[in-house]
Every structure is written in structure tokens, then in C-alpha cells.
Structure 1
């Protein structure tokens, strides 16, 4: 009960702060937001109106403070999902951030399978070797860590897509399986605050691709380039706030190395 009361008070104060700040901001920025033309006749430009939200969002002072207050309120309410312009940013149970995807229809999957199969058959007819590599999604298919009430629609779509390719005789390599075989912790291969792999994971993936292409098509390559010991690595601690972290606020997930 107290938790809900504190959350309501914080929400009220936050809305008051946003309202007062917005009033002052719009007073100074109204011409840029509405997009008045330069003739001085006061007619709004359509382009200016359409871009109004972007102008306000990009010029708003202390924008990240508002984002973090919003996230604080969501934490107080026990919410693990934030709507960012129609895309859902989700905080997994282990603290990692990811996008949440709605289920892809079978019709859409079958359409994509058909497109890729046609491309494969075309290349095959031209005697061009071709193989599909499936990149891992940030959510571990065997340990999704999703909040209650949500399902792993992304890996489900990948599974159905690869099943379709297999049925059509299209060769592929599922790097999700390789990732789980080579690393003890699936999630530690990704940034916490971004949807991208770590640089080390990308390096690993490039090696896997080279090995598979070499074995499948007898392609020769310099194996030295896949040796991690041939490179130096420098780590910047708490230096990188990824795109998901910028949408949710660093107090939701911290900052990546």
C-alpha cells in the first residue's frame, strides 16, 4: 500500500515538473516547433508540424533526467516494460534490456522463407555457393528471463523460419546453438544496455562463419585473423550507454563497459 502511495506521489510531482518545464520551453521554442514560414504571415509549414515532436524531444534540456524519473516510477510500480514510440523496451529478470517483439504470423514467416528460397535457387542456378547464417537473438531460447506474462516471440519466429528453410533444402547455420556451446553464459555475450553483441562476440561469430564457409565450400583463409591472441584489447569501464539504456535510463540497468 505504501509503495503504491509513494509511486502516486512521485508520479504527480513528475507530471508537475514536466508541465512547468514544458510551458517555459514552448514559450521560447514555439516558432521552431510549429514551423512558421519565413514570410512572416504566420502560416504553419506541414513539414514543421510533422517534425514538431522531434524538435521538442531533441531540444528539451535535461531530457535524460525525465527519462530516469519515468523509469524510477515504473520500478516503483513494478513495471518491466517501457513503451518507446510504439516499441517496447523490456527489462529482463537478469537486468538486461531488450526489445519485446509481438508474434510474427505464419503467413509472414512463410513469405520470408519463400523469398529466401527463391534467392537460394537463383544463386544455385548460377553456380553461386550460398548459405544462411542465423544470428543469435539477445534472449536465450533455453533461458528467456522474460517477466511474467510475456513469451519469447523472437526465437519462436526464428525456429519457424529455419524449419521452413530446412524443408526447402536451404543450407543454414544456427549461431544460437554455436553460441550456447562455446560460452557458459549466453547473456554475457551481449551488452546489457544495447541490442548488439559485444565486440568479442562479433569476433567469435566472424570466426565461426569463416570456418563454416571453409568447410562447406573449400574456401581458404588466413587462420591468423581468427586468433584472438593476435589482437590487443582495451576495456573502458562504465563507458557505454547503449540505445536501449538511453531509452530507459541508466538507473534501470547501469552502464556497460
Structure 2
């Protein structure tokens, strides 16, 4: 009996020792960032009580994110799920299709309501028309390819494509112009699983370049766009293509590790011909400026170096173009001063397309409603764009992405 209790005591001591050891290492990993938050909070102007909740949130996020050897835990978790043959991660947040591709999903019984979103688009069009801007909604594709993508029994389907269909139908009733890339991709057999990254919800850069060329074609044919030097700018032979093999894992892949999904190739495409841009981005209190050739201004090539952790979201190679999703972006193209001035109100799928599209524009502005603290309505009134493109994927047809013209 004494030996039995002795084993229990030793096990308890070892368990507590391991907890304290891991706690110490976690504290050491997060200490520098927590100290920075603390110093910033103490030095902040205004009422400390008003800023306290934000400070606590920052510290809490740091503790959760900067866990000692965090990605070893993720790898171990993903590997166990793979061994068990599980097709879902994080309570069905991410699921694996029969072809091995990962998808975001959730439980629902049907398409989302889109009435309020359509009403806001209608108000946006009316306001934009008054200042001479043409409004077009651009539907980028969901990764789920109807009739091709298959889930195992029991995996929920999110009805994102059905929501998108309803949304486009309602916009048509309101006489709001739309471009549906799902339809265009089907017509040219581009709507296929290999058009997207296996471990991410984004289309590949190669697909985005094709979408750019098709976008220009449709706008010229149907909306009177004059895109300068079209033959040069839309010809892929005039671009360098650098393939970074086994270097990329997307946002879904980062949730369970490369042992559950896989590491993929990433292709960086940029012009061979002469370009000259000025880039300005604002995200919260941080401003970023760059100037020069396409790869020096519109592309953040430091993300391609491979020096950062492959799992770190700040090293996501997809965000090589335009630095991802700043709240507000302004691009000046010095080579085409007389070309159109356009605005993209968008999510991340449109970023590489807009990067290439900037080659034929005098100015390109981009707003991501999730991170923009300004007033989108005032931007539309003040800047008087030639074209305003609102563009979200089917899963992003939610209130969060339509904060404008609520009334």
C-alpha cells in the first residue's frame, strides 16, 4: 500500500513540476511582448480605466499565441488526427474533402439571408452614381466546387454558393451590375480543385493572374473600360515566374500542421517590363510606404525569403502582394497617369488580382472593411472613382463585410 501511494505522490510531483516548467517557458516566450503592451498601456493618454479592457485583451491574446513550442503541439495534434483518419479539425471549423483539400465550413440548414446586404449595395450604387462612379459587384469563387468537391458522410455543408446565387439574383433585380467569376471559371474549365491551394481558401496566384486577364476582358467588352497596353500587361510571357517549392502552408493548414495536410509550392509572378509605383497602406496606427518597380512597391518579397516560421500568419506568402489586407491602400501608377482611378472594397482573394490590375490604372485604392476605421461613404463621395468594385467570396457575404450605407 505504501508503494502504491508513493507512486501516486511521485506522479503528482512530476505532473506539477512539468506544469510549472512549461508555465515558466511560456512566460519567458511571451514576456517581451507583454512588457511592450504594459509599457504602452501605462504611457497611453486618456482614462486608464477606458483602456484597461483593450490592454487585458492584448495580454490575453499574447498568452494564447506565444506558447512555448506552440507548433510542436499543433503538429502532434494534427498527426494524431491523421492517424485516426479524422476529416475535421477544431469542431468542424476545418474539414478535409475526399480529394484531400481543406475547407472552412460550419453547421447550417440553408443559405444566409442577404436582404440587408442587397439594400446596402443599392444605397452604395445610388451614392456612387451621383459622383459619376460605376459600381460593379465581383463575386470571387468559393473553394467548394459544386458537383466536384465531395465530403464524407456527416461533414456539414455551409451553403455558401447558394447564398451567393441568391445575393446575385437580388442584385440583378436592383439593376446592380455583377461579374461572377464562378461562372467565368466554369466556362473556361478553371473552376477546379487545383485552382486553389490545398491548405488555404485562396485561389493560387496563377489562377489570380488568369482572373486578372479575364477581368480586363469583361470590363472592356461590357463596361467601356480602356485598359492601356492590354496586350503587354495581360500576356503571362511578359512576367517572371519564380516557384518556391515546398514553402507554403495556408491558413487552414496552419491550424493542424503539415503532417495533416501538406506543404505546397508557391509561385511569385511579377512583370519583366518596366513599372513604377507608389504604395501607401494604413492599418490602424501603422503606415507603410514604398516606391519603385512592381516587385519593390506592390510586392513584399521579404515574405519569400523563407526566414520566418512557416506557421506564422505574418509570413503568409499569399500576402506578398500588397502586404495582404491593410485597412486602406493607395497605389499610384506613374506610368499610366491618364488611366482609370478605381476602388476595391474587398476581401483577400481580390488582392493579387488588384495588384496586376493596377498596371493599367492611374490609381488603385483598396479598403478592407474588417480593418478600416474610416468612413467608406465619405471616401466614395470625396475621391469620385471611375469604377468601384465590391468583391467578397461567398462565405464572406455577412454583415461584417457590409458596414457601409446601413441607413
TM bin, normalised by shorter chain, reads: 0.7 to 0.9
Which of these residues, 239, 248, 266, is aligned with residue 231 of structure 1? 239
**Which of 113, 116, 123 is matched with 1:111 structurally?**
116
SS in 1 for 2:138: strand
RMSD value over aligned CA atoms?
3.3
Residues in 2 aligned to 1:208 and 1:131: alpha-carbon distance in whole angstroms: 15
Partner of 2:311: none
1: CA distance between counterparts of 2:54 and 2:128? Answer: 44
Query: 1:100-139 to 2 correspondence within 5 Å?
Result: 100-103=105-108, 108-139=113-144
Summarize the alignment of residues 33-44 of structure 1 with structure 2, pairs less than 5 Å apart: none
CA distance in 2, matches of 1:158, 1:133: 11
User: Could you say which residue in structure 1 is the equivalent of 2:73?
Assistant: 66
CA distances 1:180-236 after superposition (whole Å, capped 9, x unpaired): 222356111111112211111111111121111111222221222111111121112
Distance of aligned partners of 1:242 and 1:21 in 2 relative to their CA distance in 1, 3 Å threshold: farther
Q: Which moved more, 1:131-140 or 1:68-77?
A: 68-77
In 1: Cα distance, 2:264 partner to 2:244 partner: 9
Contact 1:93 1:146 in 2 (8 A): yes
Pair 1:20–1:145, CA change in 2 (3 A): farther
Aligned mates of 2:255, 2:75 — CA distance in 1: 9
The equivalent position to 2:216 in structure 1, one of 210, 219, 233, is: 210
String of CA shifts for 1:142-180, please: whole Å, max 9, x gaps.
323233222242112111111211222221111011112
Uncovered stretches (5+) of structure 1, i.e. residues with no partner:
1-17, 40-44
2:181 matched to 1:175?
A: yes
Q: Contact 2:253–2:261 at 8 Å: present in 1 too?
A: yes
Q: 1:118 to 1:20 in 2, by over 3 A?
A: farther
Q: 2:118, 2:167 within 8 Å by CA — same for their partners in 1?
A: yes
Asked whether the 8 Å contact 2:110–2:158 carries over to 1, the reply is no
In the other structure, the counterpart of 2:63 is: 56
Classify 1:238/1:152 alpha carbon distance in 2 versus 1 (closer, same or farther; 3 Å).
same
What do the CA deviations read for 1:60-85 (whole angstroms, capped 9, x no partner)?
A: 2322221121122223444222128x
CA contact (8 A) 2:97 2:152 kept: yes
Q: 1:53 to 1:178 in 2, by over 3 A?
A: same
Q: What SS does the corresponding residue of 1:238 show, helix, strand or coil?
A: strand
| Residue 97 of structure 1, CA deviation | 1.5
What is the alpha-carbon distance in structure 1 between the residues aligned to residue 234 and residue 138 of structure 2?
Answer: 18
Shift of 1:101: 4.0
Contact 1:193–1:244 (CA<8 Å) still a contact in 2? yes
CA separation of 1:199 and 1:19: change in aligned 2, threshold 3 A: farther
Alpha-carbon distance in structure 2 between the residues aligned to 1:168 and 1:211 = 24
Normalising to structure 1: TM-score of the pair? 0.77
Q: Output the CA distance in 1 between the equivalents of 2:109 and 2:99.
A: 25
Is 1:143 equivalent to 2:143 in the alignment? no
- Unaligned stretches of 5+ in structure 2? 1-14, 43-51, 266-407
> In structure 1, what is the Cα distance between the partners aligned to 2:104 and 2:117?
21
The 1-side partners of 2:188 and 2:94 are apart by 28
CA distance in 1, matches of 2:96, 2:112: 29
